[in-house]
Amino acid sequence: MKKFEVFVWPLALMMLVVVSGCGNSGSTFDQLVSERRSVRSYDATKKVTEDEVRTLIATAQEAPSWANVQGTSYYAVMSQDKLQALQPIMGSNAKNIADVNVVLVTTFKQGASGFFDGQASNELGDGWGAFDNGLSNAFLILKAKDMGFDTLIMGLRDADGLRRLLDIPNDEVVTSVIALGYGKAVPNRPMRKQLHEILHIK
């Protein structure tokens, strides 16, 4: 072997290891964030597995929460009969979940996050439960994108209908419903505000 090859091949191999170690899909964090979109049409022929749902929720669990309360719960609707039963209680969002095989209903425990000894710590009260829930869902949708899935968070839903369908306890507040699947078409990025409109450096 030539002297030059002795150095080049190990170096090339090392670079390959480093590059392939940058996340499962090879995306950078910025790519993930910019490519994630709310997707409203899915490929009915491609299914998400139960194991993949577990991986996703394990990542969502890594999100921070008030005093590590971890008040967020996920109800993964995957059975055919329950997916059918969701249709009439999702209103205008029903069409958005028609072709997915996983719908995640998210909740947070009432009077937990933001509370000490049953007393709200400040004026936000259960707002902190919703805050933690949103953080957890943010981890979830980015991990989903990293795994090659698309998502749609839906706030328009019938909370009582979902509670009855999934036996959600009364001390849990139903928040969003998240469609999970393989998107058929990637929508354009909705415009964001100018940075100076939301960033106030004092």
Ligand X SMILES: Cc1cc2nc3c(=O)[nH]c(=O)nc-3n(C[C@H](O)[C@H](O)[C@H](O)COP(=O)(O)O)c2cc1C
Chain residues binding ligand X by CB under 6 A are 37-38, 40, 93, 96, 152-156, 176, 190
- In this complex, which beta carbon is closest to ligand X, that of residue 27 or of residue 121? 27
| Closest CB to ligand X among residues 19, 191 | 191
Closest to ligand X by CB, 121 or 159 = 159
- End-to-end Cα distance, the chain: 63
**In angstroms, what is the minimal distance from the CB of 140 to ligand X?**
12
**Under a CB-based contact definition with an 8 Å cutoff, are residues 134 and 66 in contact?**
no
Choose between 170 and 188: whose C-beta lies nearer to ligand X: 188
| Adjacent-strand bridge partners of 42 | 183
For 104, the 3-state DSSP assignment is strand
Q: Which amino acid is residue 10, in one-letter code? A: P
Tokens of 174: 């139903």
Give the nearest distance from C-beta 32 to ligand X in angstroms: 13
Q: Find the shortest distance in angstroms from Cβ 177 to ligand X.
A: 8
In the complex, the smallest distance separating the C-beta of residue 133 from ligand X, rounded to whole angstroms, is 10
Closest CA to 82 of 188, 182, 178, 162: 162
Task: Name the phi and psi angles at 52, rounded to 5.
Answer: -65, -35
CA distance 17 to 14: 5
We find the least distance from the C-beta atom of residue 69 to ligand X, in angstroms, to be 21
Residue closest to ligand X (Cβ): 155
Question: Which CB atom, from 83 or from 121, has the smaller least distance to ligand X?
Answer: 83
